[in-house]
Amino acid sequence: MQYQTYEHDVIVIGAGGAGLRAAIEASAAGCSVALICKSLLGKAHTVMAEGGMAAAMANVDDRDGWKVHFADTMRGGQYLNNWRMAELHAQQAPDRVKELEAWGAVFDRTKDGRILQRNFGGHRYPRLAHVGDRTGLEMIRTLQDHGIHQGIEVFMEMTAHTLLQESGPGSRVTGVFGYDRELGRFRVWKGKAIVLATGGIGRAFAVTSNSWEYTGDGQALAYRAGADLLDMEFVQFHPTGMVWPPSVKGILVTEGVRGEGGVLRNKDGHRFMFDDIPDNYKNQTAKDEEEGWRYVTGDKNANRPPELLTRDHVARCINREVKAGRGSPHGGVFLDIAWIKEKIPNAEAHIKKKLPSMYHQFMQLANVDITKVPMEVGPTTHYAMGGVRVDGETQMSTVPGLFAAGEVAAGLHGANRLGGNSLSDLVVFGKIAGEHAAKYAKANPASRVSDEQVDEAARRALAPFEKGARGENPYLIQHDLQETMQANVGIVRTENEMARALEDIQKLKARAANVGVPGNREYNPGWHTAIDLANLLCVAEAVTRSALDRPESRGAQFREDYPNKSEECSKFNIITRPVNGGAEMRVVRQPLTPIRDDLKKIIEEQAK
């Protein structure tokens, strides 16, 4: 089998915020670095993170600090978080923001010139450093501009197909087998350490804010290499995605709209979020609309409006309104920022300044002027809290030499992620992963890449061509998977529906084994989709099996048949791992590591 070979110390798969930051750090440590992108450099899904990056810099409210941020993150995650990761994240996020600023990032500013921070759901104080509603784009631009001068070798429009290992699943990684998406030519990257930074799994669902790249590649690569996955049942449905017209359904509507004063109303004009405030947030939530507005405008004596409660709760409240027949004409609810004209002069210009992308998005895609009328929004599959199980200190997985950072890694967010923690997660743990991957690469000599493994990976990659047009259509399999996941493992779950989904997934796996594509390897999107299917089916099964094994409602998982939290279920995470040579997927309950006493005390103090 013909293939081109490259040799590097560290291989980074994925060029979003986490991948770029990991590559920069590994290169700074003196390692040769390969950065493999599924699309073009600068086109990663990180650009869709609009609202800001959470960091307790205390520029707007001096009561903020890392301890408050840590406690907010743990409470949002329903205390299933990896507490060491939550601690490191809260402590290091401010330095990562300042680092981006030093590298050229432009942020909105306070009147005295400091980085401006905005309110966001689940955060006690204004904490999100931002650039209007284009923060992710600014992060990618800055990291890309800095990274290209660090000697990193970038491979664009490539698919990482298989992780190569010393002696099969569970053993040390030795490289990556993949192909270029344009001409379909095979490539092999030899390396001493690999960092996965491939993002999420949203394309396993029918309605998602995620871009086409998010097919669970990193999670599935790690799983097939013998690594543990963690917390896969926790999939976040962002409360506000576009619902109309159908061609744009699921596209994200930033939480920044609510952070700037946007309110949620049903078809009767009622602000329904005041009707359902969780007990553990009642002492931090506004008693009425006036107090909520005072909070948004910076009154330190006011509590947050209920629209800024955690995403899982807001999404379920929207879902309830729609099911009760109180939704908007196209199956969502109304998100209204135009109403602030009642409160401030020049509201139209203010909205355009604070939310330029949202104004443009709705004007171009829905012919809606958000400065004048409400938007229609509804929940959309947005983020996977679960992913590759990693060590909190180093980001190394349970497979030697394999690291993970960003959305592909699990632990930081527990059962539910707070808005804004994703962007700071990328740079905090991207740096840590890059640092420790470089240390690992320096401490371990290169291993031989097995020609047999490469040949077997190539055979599997080419299998769809053998069946050609006679085989199963990959697009239809993907469509059917998305439909069953959306219907049966979505925002509201039951045992019967998830069992039905699991049955469907097994049937789809059998169909995928007979998938066929016509033509040849050049410019063949059908082939790419056929390759993605194995990853999508893997993560869909992991989500479903894990959700079935958690008989409770907690964080992003809402079980209609188990609507309450379970004391027993508060004591473990769920691990997904391959058994019987990868032929079977097994879920295991892993007891939580007891939290350190000093961190436990911080949580108790911040709950007052």
Q: Which residues does the annotation mark as catalytic?
A: 238, 258
DSSP 8-state code for residue 234: -
Q: Is there a contact between 263 and 307 (Cβ–Cβ < 8 Å)?
A: yes
Token pair 């999420």 in the structure block, residue: 200
Rounded Cα distance, 124 and 465, in Å: 55
Give the residue from 14, 13, 12, 7 showing the smallest Cα distance to 23: 12
Secondary structure (DSSP) of 338-377: GGGGGTSTTHHHHHHHH-HHHHHHHHHHH---TTTSPEEE
Going by their DSSP bridges, the two strands 375-384 and 235-242 should be labelled as antiparallel
CB neighbours of 64 closer than 8 A, spacing ≥ 6? 56, 57, 58, 124, 125, 126, 127
473: which 2 tokens? 């259509």
Number of Cβ within a 10 Å radius of residue 515:
24
Rounded Cα distance, 449 and 186, in Å: 15
The torsion angles phi and psi of 257, rounded to 5 degrees, stand at -60, -45
Rounded Cα distance, 338 and 263, in Å: 9
As a whole number of angstroms, the longest Cα–Cα distance in the chain is: 70
Q: Is there a contact between 497 and 489 (Cβ–Cβ < 8 Å)?
A: yes
DSSP three-state, residue 572 = strand
How many DSSP H helices and E strands does the chain contain?
A: 16, 20
Give the residue from 41, 39, 34, 38 showing the smallest Cα distance to 188: 34
Secondary structure (DSSP) of 100-130: HHHTT----B-TTSSBPEE--TT-SS--EE-
| Radius of gyration of the chain measured on its C-alpha atoms | 23
DSSP 8-state code for residue 444: S
DSSP three-state, residue 236 = strand
C-alpha distances out from residue 221 to 312, 349, 459, 487, 561, Å: 28, 47, 17, 26, 33
Residue type at 127 in one-letter notation: R
DSSP 8-state code for residue 608: -
- Residues in a beta bridge with 190: 7, 175
DSSP 8-state code for residue 484: H
Give the residue from 17, 2, 419, 324 showing the smallest Cα distance to 195: 17
Number of Cβ within a 10 Å radius of residue 343:
11
Q: Is there a contact between 4 and 185 (Cβ–Cβ < 8 Å)?
A: yes
Q: Is there a contact between 372 and 338 (Cβ–Cβ < 8 Å)?
A: yes
Give the residue from 55, 58, 59, 48 showing the smallest Cα distance to 70: 55
Number of Cβ within a 10 Å radius of residue 156:
17
